[in-house]
Amino acid sequence: MAGLKRVLSLFIKEWQELVAGKLWLLLLVLSLSLAAADTVFIPPLASAQAKTAYQAVLPVWLILIIMAICLFLTASTVAEEKAEKKLQALLVTPLSRAEYFCAKLLFVALLGTGCLGLTLLLTGYPADYGRVLLAGLFGTLLFAAVAIAIGIAAPNPPAARTIATMVYLVFALPLLLKSPQSAGEGWRWLFPSNLFFCRLEHTMGSGALNGLLPVRVVPALETIAFILCSYCFIRRRKDI
């Protein structure tokens, strides 16, 4: 119970910092969502062809927004806290590394999923919002776990941003090269973003892989695996 209170305290601090100093980020996300709404909005009388095109674009858009928020925001924030010894100040209190990790994950998961929901709402996309948001939640948790590990490993915030950019580009590769013909190519499964992307497509009813693989279970397992790996990495670091 005390641990949960500490996680919530840190979670509140993250929101306070966001509101006080990173309003630009919220504005950026809002403008991205509005841009998505402008591009992808599906008018009631749109042709079936146009609708299919929109359906192909929107999941890619969503995943790119989530990846940007999770990777860049989290990696640079964690690296900054580590470089400026703020992390040390927190860890000298009863707060444990696991609690710090959970608070960060919780914050980014809510922020990322919230942005995803906002974009969906603004685009008016006809989807099962609950399922899409659940898929989004898994994605944000996965990318946030990777970003926290990047933030801890990087020596300073610029290095963290550089690594995050490289990871972003690598993760975005299967999305950028996607074509209906190559949907089932084996190499794509090397990228964690691909599975999450398929899950998102599936929930939005536009996936070419519907029924091809257990898209409901595997992303959850993959997310858990990434979170555990990231936590183990953080726990073993001695230079915090």
Partner 1 sequence: METKERVKNILVVSGLCKSFKERKAVDNIFFSLEKGQTMGLLGPNGAGKTTLLQMLAGLSPPTAGSATVFGYDLIREVKEVQARIGVVFEQANLFEELSAYQNLALFCRLYARPLARIQPLLERMGLWERAYEPVKNFSRGLKQRLLILRALIHRPPLLLLDEPCACLDPVSSRIIRNYLLELKNRGVSMLLASHNLEDVESLCDKVCFINRGRLVLLDTPSQLKITHANPMLRVVYRAADGSTKEELAQPTLKNLWRISELYNEGRVLSVHSSEASLNEVFQKVCSNS
Q: Which two tokens stand for residue 181?
A: 């013909």
Q: Mark the segment that binds partner 1 (CB under 8 A) among 45-53, 56-64, 90-98, 228-236.
A: 90-98
Q: Residues with Cβ < 8 Å from 65, sequence gap 6 or more?
A: 29, 32, 33, 36, 115, 116, 119
Between 9 and 156, CB nearer to partner 1? 9
Question: By CB under 8 A, what part of segment 136-155 binds partner 1?
Answer: none
Residues with Cβ within 8 Å of 188's Cβ and at least 6 positions away in sequence, in order, are 174, 182, 194
Pair 152, 82: CB distance under 8 Å? yes
User: What binding mask, one character per residue, do residues 201-240 give for partner 1 by CB under 8 A, x or -?
Assistant: -------------------------------------x-x
Which of residues 86, 216, 235, 237 is near partner 1 by CB under 8 A? 86
Q: To the nearest whole angstrom, how small is the minimum distance from the Cβ of residue 162 to partner 1?
A: 23
State yes or no: residue 17 binds partner 1 (CB under 8 A): yes
CB of 227 to partner 1, least distance (A): 23
Of residues 90 and 118, the one with the C-beta less far from partner 1: 90
Q: Are 239 and 154 in contact (CB under 8 A)?
A: no
Residue partners of 143: CB distance under 8 A and separation at least 6: 66, 67, 70, 71, 108, 112, 171
CB 86 → partner 1: shortest distance, Å? Answer: 5
Q: Which of 73, 90, 141, 172 binds partner 1 (CB under 8 A)?
A: 90
CB count within 10 Å of CB 215 equals 21
Q: What's the full length of the chain, in residues? A: 240
Restricted to residues 93-112, the positions that interact with partner 1 (CB under 8 A) are: 93-96
* Contact call for residue 89 and partner 1 (CB under 8 A): yes
Size of the site for partner 1 (CB under 8 A): 26
Could you give the CA distance from residue 104 to residue 100 in angstroms, rounded to a whole number? 6
Q: How far is CA 72 from CA 75, 102, 158, 160, 207, in A?
A: 5, 18, 11, 8, 28
Indicate if the alpha-carbon torsion angle 20, 118, 223, 195 is positive or negative. negative
Nearer to partner 1, 24 or 48 (CB): 24
* Contacting range for partner 1; rule: CB under 8 A; set: 24-32, 48-56, 84-92, 133-141: 84-92
Single-letter amino acid, residue 31: S
Does 156 bind partner 1 (CB under 8 A)? Our answer is no
- Of 88 and 182, CB closest to partner 1: 88
**Residue with tokens 């979170």, as numbered in its chain:** 227
Binding site for partner 1 (CB under 8 A): 2, 5-6, 9-10, 12-13, 16-17, 20-22, 84-86, 88-96, 238, 240
